[in-house]
Structure 1
Amino acid sequence: MTSRILLLADIHGNFPALEAIARELDPASFQFIVNCGDSLVYAPFPNETMQWLSTHKVISILGNTDKKVIRLLKGKNVKKPGKAEKRIMYTTTADALGAEEKRRLLALGESRELFFEKRIKAGIFHGSPADPDEFLFADTPDERFHELAKKTDCRIVVTGHSHTPYHKYLSGTHFINPGSAGRMFDGDPRVSCAVLEIAGDAIAVRHYRIAYTVDDVVAAIRKHRLPDIYAAMFRQGKKLN
């Protein structure tokens, strides 16, 4: 039997992107759905995003944007981002969250360990096994991945944060980043996600790029009178600030 696991990261409140994933890759066809954090901020669908994750029983962790939203919910100061055009994306997210969505967010941890097929240990992190804010890219030196492999006994390590899809097998460890489900920076606005398949001792990863209705995100940004630079970012699939 082959186990199938849907890997997501960096959704950034992009509910239309999640809907596109569900149309293309039936959530019910997976044994697990894993989300590496940064579920919220930038696309203005925080409640819909949290509800989708709950409906599909997604195993989620916190990312850096989520943790800043939590600080705001707790009435604590957030020093960064300092720029008004970025800060408003956090404050409006915190203000919009419903009571149940707040509860779900506050219940999340910074990492998770899972067992696939009851024997293959997987670690779910936002940045890296060493640091939740570490960026791991496709061109990060292999030496760094070898170092990280020594810090974990997980056979599979799934991370987000860098918005960069890759699959590397180094020092007996599979390092996987599904890319950003909601906000890619490579000039291609389509969703990025990955499917992990495990059959016996064989582990395979396939990355997907899926088109979604970017216009729905743009319309919501303008409806909520949020900075128009974010509409341009979603349209272009680029980071512009």
Structure 2
Amino acid sequence: MAKIAVVSDIHANLHALNAVARDMNLMGVEEVWCLGDTVNYGAFPNECCRWVRENVSIYILGNHELMLLGLASVENRYVNECLNWTKENIDATWIEYFSTKSVIYHHKDITLVHDNPLSPGSMKYILTREDAEIALLKMNSRLCFFGHTHIPIGYRLSTVGAEIIRTPNYSIDLRKHLLNPGSVGQPRDGIPLASYAIFEENTVTIRRVKYDIKSAARAIIDANLPSVMAARLLKGV
């Protein structure tokens, strides 16, 4: 099996994406899977979309692509301000690219989804052990990679229900597993470092990568995007 990088929630943060790409090269990554939300919040949607098209072999739509395509919406001032800015600045090429993609992908005994394997595209979060337990019990695949929460975490089905996995290195056994690689472009676990996963054979490793956070935040402000999105980068929330 190839050494695969699983990325999610780039959110137009080119500074973080470039740092992650360099780390992938150092780690000998051979293939990249993306769980969506390449756009919105950051100042570089076109550049990040170009990287995705050139480097990603499997792409899943996130809720921000669905909103860009007019297939979903939220009542959030800052999200919608970013979305309107993205609509004005993104190249039509990427709208066409996203329109060819799906909200879920099955690869052998592995499922890729942005939000929830039981309702892909619903924007339903997996945030608690209870959420994870329901998904683990009902999903058909042995392993599901998901994003959306921006928090790197794993869950596996055990005798106590959904067991939380927080170690950065863990093995995939015969039980069912849910794994979130965290966010490349807007981490929300209080650690302002880009996050992604490397999947090889039956092992998953979470990588945290330093990048020029201040420059990424400055680019958001210079683009007249909501300053709250810049502030979140600095704190990792």
TM-score norm. by structure 1 comes to: 0.83
- How far 1:169 moved relative to its partner? 3.0
Q: Deviations over 1:161-220 (max 9, x none)?
A: 11121233327222111011111112211101111110xxxx111111111111222221
Equivalent in the alignment of 2:149? 162
TM-score norm. by structure 2 comes to: 0.84
Contact 2:150 2:182 in 1 (8 A): yes
Corresponding residue pairs, total: 219
- How far 1:143 moved relative to its partner? 3.2
Contact 2:36 2:59 in 1 (8 A): yes
Equivalent position amino acid for 2:83 in 1: Y
Equivalent in the alignment of 1:232? 231
Structure 1 CA distance for aligned equivalents of residues 111 and 65 of structure 2: 19
- The counterpart of 1:81, out of the listed 75, 80, 90, is 75
- How far 1:27 moved relative to its partner? 8.3
- The counterpart of 1:90, out of the listed 83, 89, 93, is 83
Equivalent in the alignment of 2:102? 109
- The counterpart of 1:100, out of the listed 85, 93, 104, is 93
Equivalent position amino acid for 2:155 in 1: K
Q: Deviations over 1:13-57 (max 9, x none)?
A: 111111001111218933431111111110111101110001113
- How far 1:58 moved relative to its partner? 3.7
Residue 144 of structure 1 pairs with residue 134 of structure 2: yes
Instruction: Compute the RMSD of aligned alpha carbons.
Output: 2.1
Contact 1:167 1:205 in 2 (8 A): no
- How far 1:59 moved relative to its partner? 1.5
Contact 2:8 2:37 in 1 (8 A): yes
Structure 2 unaligned regions, length at least 5: 159-174
Q: Deviations over 1:57-105 (max 9, x none)?
A: 341111111111111xxxx8x752342x331100111111112222212
Equivalent in the alignment of 1:124? 112
Structure 1 unaligned regions, length at least 5: 116-120
- The counterpart of 1:135, out of the listed 125, 129, 132, is 125
